[in-house]
Amino acid sequence: MVKFVCPEGKRRQGQLCFQAPKGAADGEDGTSGASAELKALISSFRPSLTPKEVLHLGAFGGTYFRDIDSAVTGKRHKDAWKELPKSWLKGLDIRRQVARDWEDYDATVNHYGVKCGNTLEEWENAGWMHPQDPYGWFQWYCRFFQGRRSEDDPRQIKRWLKICGPTGRWKGNLIAKCVKANRAYNDPKVSPVVRQSLLHWAYELTAADLREKKKEILQGKGAYALPRAELFEVHRQDHISELRDGVLRALAFTVVAVGVCLYYYKELTTALESPAQSGDSMVKFVQLAPGEFFFVSVKVAFSVGLLIAFPYALFEAALYFTPALTRSERNVVGPTVLASALLFYSGALFSYSVLSPAALGFFLGYSQDVIESQFSIDQYFEFILSMGFATGIAFQVPVLQVALGLLGVIDSQKLFAIWRYVVVGSAIVGAILTPSTDPVTQLLLSGALCALYFAGGAVLKALGR
């Protein structure tokens, strides 16, 4: 049943409410005693715009309610706009947006800036005009919206359904063009003439209508189904668009992170120097070439910005590949990305607070009382940053274990069965990943890798895998 008694075209549950006919009780649709067909037609009549919204958005080149000589009534009709509620006309320039002469049609008044529609004479010659509404469909809609019911309602509603209904040809045409061009439902560049024409029929394409119709089109169903070659092209464009948007978001996040690091380059430099200043050892940092510190600060800001942005880039990658995964695989992606980000930062923090001080302490202690330690600022920061990235990557071991375990590739029993090889392998990996050659740093990283490996196995065992 159509909802009524809803002032100013407000919406209930996303649908427009029309004014009740005179004498109708609240909630009635004014079709008591009417045929089942008429009741069904009124229930299916779902314009998305009120008459007021159509006028204020900009329609008919500002000419709709001009003075006309009607061929269907044989009369001259003047000032037809005066029957509209004052609230509809508030804020409008009547002579420019509502009742200007047809010869003065102005496309710039229209919402989409284009001219469309037939002349009054063409509509009359085609037999579409009814004497009770000599201006046409939109005049009928204004009166229907305000509660008038007439014998012409079924015809006018059927006209609307053929254009804007579930199988409406103009709506379907616009949706097909949006799908083919891989554009959003509200992109004004996609067929502005069709959009303006639909607006004259009190309809604007919605995201929900596009989603619903797009499924049929991509499945090769309906009048606007695309050929197989074009379907392939649409799918390809969808994937490219999604990939492009994800890459752009990740790049934007990275640029912001790098910019923040550049702004706080002094504080960042001081923080990264602290591992070499721990204990009794005080190291002097020197620049060995003109402008070395400037270029180093830029490189450090860029590297730390990447460090901050890496987990977000990982999230975007997961977002892109998720649609291609099965339901069970999707359930793994979210926790995996979150755990991966946490472990990555944990690895970088472990490197900064444990590995780097230990390595530097070993080197400084070895040279103490023999030489004065002065580090090149460039080589020092390269050491710190490469250590942080390498350790962050190495800390992904549990994530890889749990993900493979949940997918049924490995299980905890197999993981624990090869522990001897893991110990030897972690020592080798520690030697490769650590930029220094001291045994202390390698042992610390190897120990951390072993602990992470066994922690991953324990999580899998706890999950019953």
Tell me the pLDDT band of 5, cut-offs 50, 70 and 90. very low
Q: Is 282 exposed, middle or buried (0-12, 13-18, 19+ CB in 10 A)?
A: exposed
Which of 56-60, 79-83, 386-390 has the lowest average pLDDT? 386-390
The confidence score (pLDDT) of residue 131 equals: 94
Q: Is the pLDDT of residue 30 over 80?
A: no
pLDDT tens sequence across 85-118: 999 999 999 999 999 999 999 999 999 999 888 8
At residue 247, the 3 state secondary structure works out as helix
Q: What are the extents of the domains in the chain?
A: 46-226, 237-462
Range with the lowest mean pLDDT among 22-26, 124-128, 229-233, 422-426? 229-233
In this predicted model, what pLDDT tens digit does every residue of 179-217 receive, in sequence order?
A: 877 788 899 988 888 899 999 999 999 988 888 888 777
- Gap between the Cα atoms of 159 and 157, Å rounded: 5
Query: Which helix (DSSP H) or strand (DSSP E) does residue 286 occupy?
Result: strand 284-286
pLDDT value, residue 109: 94
pLDDT confidence of residue 2: 38
Is a pLDDT exceeding 50 seen at residue 172? Answer: yes
Confidence of residue 3 (pLDDT cuts 50, 70, 90): very low
The listed range with the strongest mean pLDDT (23-37, 56-70, 296-310, 443-457) is: 56-70
The amino acid occupying position 399 is: V
Confidence of residue 24 (pLDDT cuts 50, 70, 90): low
Q: What is the 3-state secondary structure (H, E, C) of 111-133?
A: CCCCCCCCCHHHHHHCCCCECCE
Residue 376: strand, helix, or coil: strand
Q: What pLDDT was estimated at residue 72?
A: 94
Q: According to the model, what pLDDT value does residue 92 have?
A: 95
Cβ(5)–Cβ(22) below 8 Å: no
- What is the chain's mean pLDDT, rounded? 80
Report if pTM > 0.75. Answer: no
Q: Which two tokens stand for residue 421?
A: 């090889």
pLDDT greater at residue 308 or residue 233? 308
User: Which residues are paired to 69 by β-bridges?
Assistant: 76
Highest mean pLDDT among 141-150, 210-219, 226-235: 141-150
pLDDT of 285: 78
- In the chain the first and final C-alpha atoms are separated, in Å, by 55
**454 pLDDT higher than 70:** yes
CB 204 within 8 A of CB 158: no
Res 61 pLDDT > 70: yes
| Predicted pLDDT at 83 | 94
Residues β-bridged to residue 285: 375
Residue appearing with tokens 């199988």? 167
Return the closest-CA partner of residue 65 out of 81, 87, 53.
81
Most confident of the ranges 14-23, 132-141, 443-452: 132-141
